[in-house]
Amino acid sequence: DFSFGASGVLYRGGKKVQAVRGVTVAGNFLKLLERVDGVADDLTFYGSTGAPSLSVKNITVGGV
């Protein structure tokens, strides 16, 4: 299980809704991986760790 702060862009129904900052994403990591339905080609490195943008279906975000 995990809980962490995040910022980014909120999409609903495939449409950009708003920029978000200071939101909380929490849940079970394995279930989150099962819900990934898109991976972008924008690999970005933060120090020595890299990650692309992900699209995750049916995720609950707090603080929006």
DSSP conformation class of 2: E
State if pTM tops 0.85: no
Alpha-carbon torsion 1, 29, 60, 58, what sign? negative
Distance separating alpha carbons of residues 61 and 57, to the nearest angstrom: 12
> Tens digits of per-residue pLDDT, 7-59?
888 888 889 999 999 999 888 999 999 999 999 999 999 899 999 988 888 88
Query: What 3-state DSSP class applies to 30?
Result: helix
Cβ pair 25, 4 in contact under 8 A: yes
CB neighbours (10 Å) of residue 32? 15
The tokens describing 11, both together, are 């999409």
